[in-house]
Amino acid sequence: MTALAPTGAPRERVRTRIWHEESEPGNAFATRSALCHGYDVYGDMLGQARWVDMLFLLLRGEAPSAGQARLLETLAVALCNAGPRDAAVHAAMCAGVGGSTAAAALIAALSVGAGKAGGAREVWAAMQQFVDCGRSPAAWERALAAPAVERAGIWPQTEHPPGFDPHAALTSGIVERTLQVLAPLSVGLCLPWLLQSRAQLEAATGRGLAMTGVAAAALLDLGFTPDQGEMLHLLLRLPGAAAHALEQKEQGHKSFPFFALDLQDDPGIAA
Amino acid sequence: MNGPDVLVDSADRMRTRVGQAFVGTRAVFRGQDLHAELRHLDWMALYVLGITGRHHTEAQLKLLHALWVCTSYPDARIWNNRTAALAGSARSTPGLGIAAALAMSEATIYGGHPYVSSIDFLIRAQPHGGEALHAFVEAELAKGRIYGYGRPIASVDERLPWALGIAADLQLDGGPHLRIALEVERLLVQRSPKLRMNYAALMSALCADLGFSTTEMHHFQVPVFLAGMSPCFIEAAERAPGTVFPMSCAHIAYEGPAARRWPTSQP
């Protein structure tokens, strides 16, 4: 009884450019219709718009062109499942085998898949590098050779050039194939430039291009900011984590690797 | 090594110095038998042993406890607590609600970032004194704001006198990082009266004087608000579902484009 002032107007309001709701007559807490950036979601979009159209609309504020939707959809398929070797999926599977909640499996995948080594923060950093260096090979080579010193914060210092594989000297087949498929679909400049410059950048870093680098270029070509790209990368990789968590939940912990430790400072069995 | 050799070397087996569970017989924690040697430790002592690998004195542990106690606010309006409360209201689980609240406490304007940034600053500032400190502070300000000074909602930090009082009672208020933190406050307040020391700088200074590194501080502060979160969840879970700050359609102030038609055939 305290949410509304005596006039019926709420005391505090959420300001948003994204979402508008009309209430049902007689119940201000039930929604009759909803607009997303001006589009009637349940009256006009539902049944016509695709999932990627809605994703694009939510973050960019406009409906995507056919080319933008196709590029985003193709990127989403490429990122959908990193496979059980991936650390984020591995974490989700750990939730599955232990019988943790579904949300815990996704939280595990998000937390691990957020990082600067193969995760969303690396995509953010790679997008930032594209923004800073543009398509200048010299600027890229300078940035890759001497990464800027970062101020202390919650993220650790960068240990490898963002967008490149810390443990591979060459680009893997799936990354190369993704770049080859995405570049011709591009509605921007980064993917075609990356396809053309890949060998030169690999030589400069001594490392193969990673999926994070391809994703960064694609997200920039779609007009997303590094912050938006980081969010989308987190989101788009969740389906694979969910599927693998459910599969391992079904199979149980007995068939899941437990691995081994070499304890360096074992005090031994107490007397 | 840029190739996969480091991965090949690490597959299946991991070298460790932090511990191991010998399930069915015993457990090792940082080189000591958890049950035979450490079973009487209080939880804070074990927590900071796990983080630092070092044992702390009784007075130091009392201070660390107090630093958490003084900032445990069960106020469901505060963003991290509100998330715990919303989880309770939505009939989620305590683990999920608290995990979300802890994760978001690694924030920029409060929690994780200010603590890490502040201890890093104080450790780097500590060797400076007098004019050199003044120049150091000016150089830091030229790079951006100095975390640990000023506060988003109110400039006065009510926690400081209490925590400082406990540090004084325990004779742990004479360290060089606390001295520098207070001196920096004096310099900053000359520039703006709003830049008074906040809890992040105080806690960071006291922890730096206990020998905490930046990384150790980052880990130590993770549960700093935890005790305030659970009551918010519990009370919300006792209320009718959905009654934690419910918002009507009128609570949304829409500032976007006017109604328009969805393009059926996009170019």
Which residues on adjacent β-strands are paired with residue A36? Answer: A19, A39
Banded pLDDT at B267 (limits 50, 70, 90): very low
Residue written as token pair 């209430």? A23
Q: Which of the residue ranges B59-63, B220-224, B261-265 would you say has the lowest mean pLDDT?
A: B261-265
The beta-carbon neighbor of B256 closest among A23, A38, A167 is: A38
For residue B32, give the 3-state DSSP assignment. Answer: strand
Which is nearest to A222 in space by CA: A119, A76, A71? Answer: A71
Nearest CA in chain A to B100: A107
Residues in B 172-201 with any Cβ partner in A closer than 8 A: none
Average pLDDT (B166-175) is 98
pLDDT at B228 over 90: yes
Contact present, A88 and A204 (Cβ < 8 Å): no
| Contact residues on chain A for B35, CB-CB shorter than 8 A | 270
Q: How far out from the chain centre does Cα B189 lie?
A: 24
pLDDT the model gives residue A3: 47
Mean pLDDT of A158-163: 92
Q: Are A267 and B33 in contact (CB under 8 A)?
A: yes
- Per residue in A18-73, pLDDT (tens digit) is 999 999 999 999 999 999 999 999 999 999 999 999 999 999 999 999 999 999 99
Using CB atoms, pick whichever of A8, A13, A267 lies closest to residue B252.
A13
Report CB contact under 8 Å: A20, B252. Answer: yes
Q: Model confidence over A84-142: pLDDT tens digits?
A: 999 999 999 999 999 999 999 999 999 999 999 999 999 999 999 999 999 888 898 88
Examine the domain organization and report whether B117 and B215 are in the same domain. yes
Distance CA A89, CA A110 (A): 9
Residue partners of B37: CB distance under 8 A and separation at least 6: A267, A270
Average pLDDT over every residue of B39-57: 97
Distance from CA of B236 to the nearest CA of A (A): 16
Query: Is pLDDT at A4 greater than 60 in this prediction?
Result: no
Looking at CA atoms only, how far is residue B183 from chain A in angstroms?
Answer: 21
A21 contacts in chain B (CB < 8 Å): 249, 252
Size of interface A-B (CB pairs under 8 A): 169
CA distance B246 to B80: 17
- Find the domain containing B30 and state its range: 22-55
Question: How high is the mean pLDDT of chain B?
Answer: 94
Contact (Cβ atoms closer than 8 angstroms) between residue B31 and residue A191? no
Count of all residues that appear for chain A in the document: 271
Is B17 in contact with A265 (CB distance < 8 Å)? yes
CB–CB contact B253 A16 (8 Å)? yes
3-state secondary structure of B21: strand
Among A103, A264, A270, beta carbon nearest to B33: A270
When CB atoms are compared, the residue of B13, B253, B267 closest to A65 is: B267
* Alpha-carbon gap, residue A165 to A174, rounded angstroms: 13
User: Mean pLDDT over residues B179-201, rounded?
Assistant: 95
pLDDT class of A151 with cuts at 50, 70, 90 = confident
pTM confidence score: 0.91
With CA atoms as reference, the chain B residue closest to A2 would be: B245
Q: Is residue B215 part of a domain?
A: yes
Taking the CA of residue B154 and the nearest CA in chain A, the distance in Å comes to 20
Residue B124, domain member (yes or no): yes
The answer on pLDDT for B155 being more than 80 is no
Mean pLDDT of B231-258: 95
Radius of gyration for the alpha carbons in chain A, expressed in angstroms and rounded: 23
A151 and B117: CB-CB below 8 Å?
yes
**What is the DSSP track for chain A?**
--SB-TTS-BSS-EEESSEEEEEETTEEEEEEEEEETTEEIIIIITTTS-HHHHHHHHHHSSPPPHHHHHHHHHHHHHHS---TTSHHHHHHHHHHHTT--HHHHHHHHHHHTTSTTTSHHHHHHHHHHHHHHTT-HHHHHHHHHSPPPPPSSSSPPP-S-TTB-TT-SS--HHHHHHHHHHHHH-SSSHHHHHHHHHHHHHHHHTS-B-HHHHHHHHHHHTT--HHHHHHHHHHHTHHHHHHHHHHHHHH-GGGS---EEEETT---S--
B144: region left, alpha or beta (phi > 0 left; psi from -120 to 50 alpha):
left
Instruction: Say if residues B175 and B204 touch (Cβ distance below 8 Å).
Output: no
Tell me the helix, strand and coil percentages in chain B, rounded to 5: 50, 10, 40
Predicted confidence (pLDDT) at residue A10 exceeds the cutoff of 60? yes
In a domain, B196, yes or no: yes
Domain ranges of chain A: 19-65, 67-148+160-251
In this structure, of A2-16, A68-82, A120-134, B238-252, the range with the lowest mean pLDDT score is A2-16
Give me the number of domains chain B comprises.
2
Best probe of the A interface among B91, B119, B248, by most A CBs < 10 A, is B248
Contact B246 A263 (CB under 8 A): no
B199 in a domain, yes or no? yes
Q: Is the dihedral of CA A146, A148, A149, A152 positive or negative?
A: negative
Q: State whether B51 and B131 are in the same domain.
A: no
Of B182, B197, B220, which closes a domain?
B220
Residue B2 scores a pLDDT above 70: no
pLDDT higher than threshold 80 for residue B153: no
Identify all chain A residues contacting B99, using CB atoms and an 8 Å cutoff.
Answer: 104, 107
User: Is residue A2 predicted with pLDDT exceeding 50?
Assistant: no
Q: Is the pLDDT of residue B266 over 60?
A: no
Distance in angstroms (rounded) separating the CA atoms of residues B95 and A99 = 13
DSSP alpha helices (H): ranges in B144-225? Answer: 159-169, 176-191, 199-209, 214-220
Which among B113, B246, B258 has CB closest to A38?
A: B258
B169 CA: distance to closest CA in chain A (Å)? 32
- 3 state SS of B8: helix
Q: Residues A215-269: pLDDT tens digits?
A: 999 999 999 999 999 999 999 999 999 999 999 999 999 999 999 999 999 999 9
| pLDDT of A55 | 98
CATH of the domain at B201: 1.10.230.10
CB-CB under 8 Å, B143 with A262: no
Residues of A in contact with B91 (CB under 8 A): none
CB of B118 less than 8 A from some CB of A: no
The answer to whether B24 faces chain A, any CB pair under 8 Å, is: no
Assess whether pLDDT exceeds 70 at residue B210.
yes
- Of all residues in chain A, the one with the smallest CA distance to B111 is A154
The pLDDT of B92-118, averaged and rounded, is 95
- At residue B80, does pLDDT exceed 50? yes
At A1, is the pLDDT very low, low, confident or very high (cuts 50, 70, 90)? very low
